[in-house]
Amino acid sequence: MTQSTTPSSAAPAATELPEEALALIGVKKTRRVLVTVRDIKRFAQAIGERNPVHYDEEYARCSRHGTIVAPPLFCQSLTFDDVSPSELAPDGSPVELNVPIPAQRAMGGGSEYVIHRLVRAGETLTVTSQLKSLYTKQGKNGLLYFIVVETAFTDERGDAVATENATYIKRV
């Protein structure tokens, strides 16, 4: 769904995406993150999930998982890089959305999330994110810019744990 632009020395057309934005597509950033029991417990509380398999070690030990496991979409808590506030845009939106396009107001659009297995407390995951695609659509009140960010989560053996393709929308 990547939109290409036609090189031109003239002023860019409204639907044209800047070359410097398109150049960011496919550039990967990688981090490693240790997942703790506390991380899982807090995520479960934040989403309103009360299943004790996410926080009660004794209960979890007797479950089919044998240990504390995270809710299915837990990897979302690892998606946004914890950069300094000075590195964020003025609206505080995640640094993953810092794409040089002529639009500022960001909002979430949707997501495609694949879960290979539940995350377990105590494991270290590798988080690899990249700008997957950029495209525009004409909205009711102006041009909408769609930013698709892919985040892949793998375990210490390199096996896939989860992958999310999240779509964000920016408006002027």
Partner 1 sequence: MTPTTQIPELEITPDAMQIFMFSAVTWNRHHIHYSKDAALAEGHQDIVVQRALIGNFLARLLTDWLGDSGEIRELSWKVVHSALPGKKLRCQGVVTGESRLGSRRILSCDLKIVGAEQQTIATGAARVELPGID
Footprint of partner 1 on this chain (CB under 8 A)?
39, 42-43, 45-49, 51, 53, 63-64, 71-73, 76-77, 79-80, 82, 85, 88, 91-94, 105-115, 118, 166-168
CA distances from 110 to 30, 60, 76, 88, 113 (A): 23, 32, 13, 22, 10
Nearest distance, CB of residue 147 and partner 1, angstroms:
12
Nearest distance, CB of residue 24 and partner 1, angstroms:
19
Cα–Cα dist 74/170, whole Å: 25
| Closer CB to partner 1, 101 or 106, in the complex | 106
| Closer CB to partner 1, 7 or 85, in the complex | 85
Nearest distance, CB of residue 135 and partner 1, angstroms:
15
Q: Which residue has the tokens 């939106």?
A: 93
Nearest distance, CB of residue 167 and partner 1, angstroms:
8
CB 126 within 8 A of CB 78: no
| Closer CB to partner 1, 48 or 158, in the complex | 48
Nearest distance, CB of residue 27 and partner 1, angstroms:
21
Cα–Cα dist 121/38, whole Å: 9
Q: Which residue has the tokens 């496991």?
A: 69
| Closer CB to partner 1, 30 or 59, in the complex | 59
The string of DSSP letters for 91-115 reads T---GGG----S--EEEEEEEEEEE
| Closer CB to partner 1, 3 or 111, in the complex | 111
Cα–Cα dist 44/146, whole Å: 29
Cα–Cα dist 33/4, whole Å: 34
